Amino acid sequence: MAKAKTILLVEDDPFLVDIYTTKFKEAGFDITVAADGNQAIKMMQDRKFDLVLLDIVLPHLDGWEVLEKVKADPNLQDQKVVVLSNLGQKQEIDRALALGANKYLIKAHYTPSEVAEEARLILD
CATH code for position 114: 3.40.50.2300
Q: Tell whether 42 is covered by a domain.
A: yes
pLDDT for 63-75, tens place per residue? 999 999 999 999 9
Q: Is residue 3 part of a domain?
A: no
Residue pair 56/87 in contact by the 8 Å Cβ criterion: yes
- When divided into structural domains, the chain yields a total of 1
Q: How many CA atoms lie within 13 A of 76 on its CB side?
A: 22
For residue range 78-93, list pLDDT tens digits in order: 999 999 999 999 999 9
Decide if 34 is inside a domain: yes
Amino acid in position 23: K
Q: Which residues span the domain enclosing 42? A: 12-123
Radius of gyration for the alpha carbons in the chain, expressed in angstroms and rounded: 13
Q: Is pLDDT of 97 > 80?
A: yes
Predicted model pTM: 0.95
Whether 102 is covered by a domain: the verdict is: yes
Q: Is residue 105 part of a domain?
A: yes
